[in-house]
């Protein structure tokens, strides 16, 4: 499905506030409410908009987060990903190009829990090596 500049504008508005009322989106785009609703339904049914979500505020965010760069033994990626899925605290795992194979985002409530999770990732069968980057201060969050 092709999307146009108006669709992109709607998506950008929803990225800022997924709960924005159709009337507000209509005013911001200069379109009729029924047109905006029809466009949103088309974007949803085509899969361009895959869903709506929330961003957790400070009261709900885990205390600690980190990115883990993981190098995997040859032909072990599927097994490593299956092991990572089973670990609590894994937020996302993404394949990468470059010197590492996976970028794994993790969260934990305490330094002890984060340390244990990082150990479990490094000890997983098929993991050649891992490097942890603990997140300190968020400068941009969209």
What phi, psi does 54 have (nearest 5°)? -120, 160
**52 belongs to a structural domain:** no
pLDDT band at 107 (very low <50, low <70, confident <90, very high): very high
DSSP string, 68-130: EEEEE-TT-HHHHHHHHHTSTTEEEEEE-SSS-SEEEEEEESSHHHHHHHHHHHHHSTTEEEE
What pLDDT, on the 0 to 100 scale, is given for residue 127?
97
pLDDT at 138: 85
Structure confidence at residue 74 (pLDDT): 93
Report the pLDDT averaged over residues 30-42.
95
| Counted domains in the chain | 2
Q: Do both 33 and 80 map to the same domain? A: no
Rg (CA), the chain: 20
User: Which pair of tokens denotes residue 43?
Assistant: 């974007």
Name the phi and psi angles at 5, rounded to 5: -60, -35
CATH code of 83's domain = 3.30.70.920
- The structure tokens listed for 71 are 């190098």
Distances in Å between the alpha carbon of 111 and those of 19, 38, 55, 99?
35, 48, 23, 27
pLDDT digit string, tens, across residues 74-86? 999 999 999 999 9
CATH of the domain at 23: 1.10.10.10
Domain shared by 25 and 84, yes or no: no
Domain check: are 24 and 68 in the same one?
Answer: no
What is the spatial distance between Cα 71 and Cα 50, in angstroms, rounded to a whole number?
30
**Enclosing domain of residue 81:** 64-134
Predicted confidence (pLDDT) at residue 90 exceeds the cutoff of 90? yes
Q: Look at residue 58 and tell me whether its pLDDT is greater than 80.
A: no
Q: Are residues 81 and 124 in the same domain?
A: yes
102-108 and 127-134 strand pairing: unpaired
Residue 57 predicted with pLDDT over 90: no
């Amino acid at each position: 499905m092709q999307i146009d500049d108006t669709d992109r504008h709607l998506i950008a508005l929803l990225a800022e506030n997924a709960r924005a009322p159709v009337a507000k989106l209509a005013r911001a785009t200069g379109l009729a409410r029924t047109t905006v609703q029809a466009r949103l339904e088309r974007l949803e049914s085509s899969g361009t908009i895959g869903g709506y979500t929330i961003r957790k505020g400070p009261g709900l965010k885990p205390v600690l987060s980190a990115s883990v760069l993981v190098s995997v033994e040859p032909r072990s990626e599927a097994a490593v990903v299956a092991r990572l899925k089973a670990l609590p605290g894994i937020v996302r795992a993404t394949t990468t190009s470059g010197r590492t194979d996976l970028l794994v985002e993790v969260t934990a409530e305490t330094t002890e829990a984060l340390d244990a999770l990082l150990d479990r990732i490094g000890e997983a069968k098929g993991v050649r090596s891992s490097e942890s980057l603990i997140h300190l201060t968020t400068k941009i969050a969209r």
